[in-house]
Amino acid sequence: MMISEPILTIKSQEYGFHCFKEGKFLDEGITLQEKIEKNIRFGVQMGMPEETARNMCNAILPKLKI
């Protein structure tokens, strides 16, 4: 079977790929702090230590347009 479109979505350097999809924000109305806490929980669920998830979210999310 031939695939005519790329399977992977190109990640934007301005928007997080979990935040912005198909021209709209997925968590519209959420504060930055709420987004950080949500992503920390997601990281922990995926097996990341909480401190690592917290450090990563605090370093990356404030730099994105969310």
Q: What is the pLDDT of residues 4-62, one digit of tens each?
A: 444 334 455 566 666 667 777 777 788 889 989 999 999 999 999 999 999 999 998 88
The secondary structure of residue 22, as a DSSP letter, is T
Assess contact for 43 and 53: CB atoms under 8 A: yes
**25 lies in some domain:** yes
Tally of structural domains, the chain: 1
The residue behind tokens 């979210």 is 57
pLDDT at 19: 66
Domain boundaries, position 27: 20-63
* pTM for this predicted structure: 0.65
pLDDT at 2: 43
**13 lies in some domain:** no
Q: Please state, in angstroms and rounded to a whole number, the distance separating the CA atoms of residues 46 and 5.
A: 29
pLDDT at 40: 94
**11 lies in some domain:** no
**6 lies in some domain:** no
**27 lies in some domain:** yes
Q: Please state, in angstroms and rounded to a whole number, the distance separating the CA atoms of residues 48 and 34.
A: 19
